[in-house]
Structure 1
């Protein structure tokens, strides 16, 4: 049964899968904002901010830079409001981790550093960083998922290269076999 679910999930269009993921994050964020102690902050504004924060996850693979900029824009807009996005909620941190992973998995070159810098600035400004150890934790918090994304990207590229090489070798082997048969017939 799990294999069937996994196969169906792998066959989904990337955009549909990301839209479903964003919807799940929005719903989880709304539920979490309704259940968590507010500490005097607005539940409604936090639920709305979490919903808006989930929207960029829908295009995270198609336009990673746009997703990161959208995420940062929502966090910056929600910063001065009476929300508890990063002080009490877990979903916002999970979305941040997912975006850091996505940057590592799908981006190349200087864009990786730009997008990770934007996410790091968001964590350091709005995540309640107050001690030097928090700075170290924030770096590990973003660097770990980004490095995991890079490792999985490298593995996927290697597997693709090996599949192409195997296909090429099989084609060459079949061609050599046909030529050998033709040479044998020609004798």
Structure 2
């Protein structure tokens, strides 16, 4: 235990950049988006030192930057999110069609059912997919917020395979989200 304590004292004065407010992938990082924090970094992570602030401010966030996270050099540069083969879509979700307290990182099954009173055949799915595939997909929640035009509804932003995103976006109907448990 003595070695760890000595190492912490040796690294205790290191200053690094942390994210002060959320920055979406592809957005320009502004001065107010980062702050200086003191952190011991004995593991040698590629954290961006406070003295390199000018290498971050004015550049593009390659991935979404979450508040409180430490800035790593690979997070700055050309957008790398969503990754190749993935896409991000936003879907309106009516009251009662998603679990309460849905949070970022949750894995969900996206189901699109024909809207009440709509033609049961729904929209034509993209080439190479059946109607059943166009109405079901597995995704990761990026964000969930109250819907501006829906009383009690929400808009949920999802990360999923590009083909599935296209299928969900091209299918008309009501969206329901089913949250999956760990490892599903």
TM bin, normalised by shorter chain, reads: under 0.3
Normalising by structure 1, we get a TM-score of: 0.25
**Structure showing the higher strand proportion among its residues:** 2
Q: Which has the higher helix share?
A: 1
Higher relative contact order (CA 8 A, sep 6+): 2
